[in-house]
């Protein structure tokens, strides 16, 4: 499933959630019911409505959250509450981890903006129950292995009145989130604040910047409405559901180095491995006959900025190149089997992929093979051959 957000008039947490609820009407009642259950767990009154409105003559959905919950003004308490909700509701670990990263983006940005340690930070609007509802609801709707992109984010311009008085747009917290985001931003198109910290944090975590070379074929469109009616432009966030394609857009990040030892490069390669889909070193003959290496890593858009910063910090290089690349993947799935090796049975994970011709490929996971090899004292080659032989018989 591929989704593209188009924040031509900015973004907020409620607009993201309402655009997805409009995009997936068949899931609307179930998701709203789950979110209202969170209120019962917290012992508060919580009512969530999705109202049909028009913005600039275009129909969209407006998310209305009614609650008697007190604002949580401490980031650490809010993170504990979020973890409790995810655990009690048995949400997948992915929702819990991604949600915490979104909240940390907001809290760390607020901390930097106000020059206060995060544990001493006093939350304002982001401490409302709305923030947790918007984050959890969005992640429930994107629970499947979704590929999510966003066009450049409009942030507004001028000034906005806040609890701290008149502030420039983007507000200090939003600006701090922008600094750590891989997305592109644009001022305007109207006066005022169009992009909120929650909205920018969610898109920065879940979506990649849409590459200029990417073309797409929408099959559905959802509209999430902002609370204000603007004269100049429809106050809407568009969400497109695309037809399924095997092609995905990634980024290749690379730099050429001739003054870093192989031992250090090995550590850099290991560190990049945690955020990259692939990372490798190529021997390179540079100017003036100098021998060096080209470090290359393949990353998703959401990890682009982190990869660039890690390369700068770890290698001391003066420049990093990056460009979008297309990748096609075979359809694949993971299958777990109990495989007899000797007199014992071991759990082994297999990657099962399907060639365009329809033929299957079955490959056992290396970590499982190594573990079994160490335990039974057989060469890993023998363990691999036996495990895959059995898997070819059992996997249909």
Q: For 258-284, give one letter per residue: b (16+ CB within 10 A) or e.
A: eebeeeebeebbeebeebbeebebeee
| Tokens, residue 187 | 């001022």
Domain ranges of the chain: 2-242, 247-328, 331-394
Q: Rg (Cα) of the chain, in Å, rounded?
A: 24
Across the chain, mean pLDDT equals 93
Closest by CA position to 169, among listed 156, 181, 179, 178: 156
What is the bridge-based pairing of β-strands 2-6 and 147-150?
A: parallel
Q: 3-class SS at 230?
A: coil
The pair of structure tokens assigned to 112 is: 């930097």
pLDDT at 165: 85
Query: What is the CA angle 261-267-273, rounded to 5?
Result: 135
For residue 127, the Cα-to-chain-centroid distance in whole angstroms is 22
User: Residue 332 is encoded by which pair of tokens?
Assistant: 């694949």
Find where tokens 């495989």 sit: 339
CB 240 within 8 A of CB 214: no
Q: Torsion angle, CA of 363/367/369/373, rounded to 10 degrees?
A: 160
Q: pLDDT tens digits, residue range 13-57?
A: 999 999 999 999 999 999 999 999 999 888 899 999 999 999 999
> Selecting from 3.30.70.1380, 3.20.20.70, 1.10.150.130, 3.30.465.10, what CATH number does the domain 247-328 have?
3.30.70.1380
pLDDT at 288 over 80: yes
Whether pLDDT at 358 is above 80: yes
Say if pTM beats, i.e. exceeds, 0.85: no
CA 278/CA 299 separation, integer angstroms: 7
Res. 146: pLDDT tops 80: no
**Dihedral, CA atoms, 47, 198, 102, 270, nearest 10 degrees?**
160
Find the helix or strand (DSSP H, E) in which 208 lies.
strand 208-209
With the C-alpha atoms ordered 171, 172, 177, 182, is the resulting torsion angle positive or negative?
Answer: positive
CATH topology of domain 331-394: Ubiquitin-like (UB roll) (3.10.20)
Q: What is the pLDDT of residue 302?
A: 84
Strands of the sheet containing 331-341, edge to edge, are: 331-341, 344-354, 360-364
């Amino acid at each position: 499933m591929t989704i593209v957000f188009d924040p031509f008039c900015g973004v907020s947490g409620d607009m993201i959630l309402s655009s997805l609820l409009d995009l997936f009407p068949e899931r609307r009642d179930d998701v709203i019911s789950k979110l209202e259950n969170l209120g019962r767990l917290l012992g508060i009154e919580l009512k969530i409505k999705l109202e049909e409105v028009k913005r600039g003559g275009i129909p969209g959905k407006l998310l209305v959250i009614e609650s008697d919950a007190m604002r949580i003004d401490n980031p650490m308490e809010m993170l504990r509450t979020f973890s409790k909700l995810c655990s009690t509701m048995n949400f997948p670990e992915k929702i819990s981890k991604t949600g915490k990263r979104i909240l940390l983006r907001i809290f760390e940005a607020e901390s930097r903006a106000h020059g206060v340690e995060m544990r001493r930070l006093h939350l304002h609007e982001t401490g409302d129950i709305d923030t947790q509802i918007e984050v959890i609801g969005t992640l429930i709707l994107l629970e499947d292995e979704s590929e999510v992109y966003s066009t450049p984010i409009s942030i507004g311009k001028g000034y906005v009145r806040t609890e701290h008085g008149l502030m420039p747009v983007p507000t200090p917290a939003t600006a701090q989130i922008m600094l750590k985001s891989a997305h592109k931003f644009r001022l305007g198109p109207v006066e005022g604040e169009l992009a909120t910290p929650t909205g920018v944090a969610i898109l920065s975590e879940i979506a990649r910047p849409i590459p200029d070379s990417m073309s797409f074929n929408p099959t559905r469109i959802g509209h999430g409405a902002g609370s204000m009616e603007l004269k100049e432009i429809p106050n809407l966030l568009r969400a497109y559901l695309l037809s399924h394609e095997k092609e995905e857009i990634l980024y290749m990040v690379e730099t050429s180095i001739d003054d870093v030892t192989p031992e250090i490069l090995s550590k850099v390669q290991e560190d990049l491995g945690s955020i990259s889909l692939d990372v490798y070193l190529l021997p390179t003959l540079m100017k003036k006959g100098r021998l060096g290496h080209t470090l290359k890593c393949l990353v998703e858009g959401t990890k682009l900025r982190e990869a660039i910063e890690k390369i700068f910090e770890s290698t001391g290089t003066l420049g990093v190149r990056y460009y979008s690349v297309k990748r096609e993947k075979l359809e694949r799935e993971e299958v777990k089997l109990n495989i007899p090796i000797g007199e014992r049975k071991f759990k082994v994970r297999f990657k099962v992929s399907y060639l365009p011709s329809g033929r299957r490929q079955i490959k056992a996971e290396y970590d499982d093979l190594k573990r079994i090899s160490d335990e039974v004292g057989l060469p890993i080659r023998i363990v691999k051959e036996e495990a895959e032989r059995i898997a070819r018989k059992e996997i249909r």
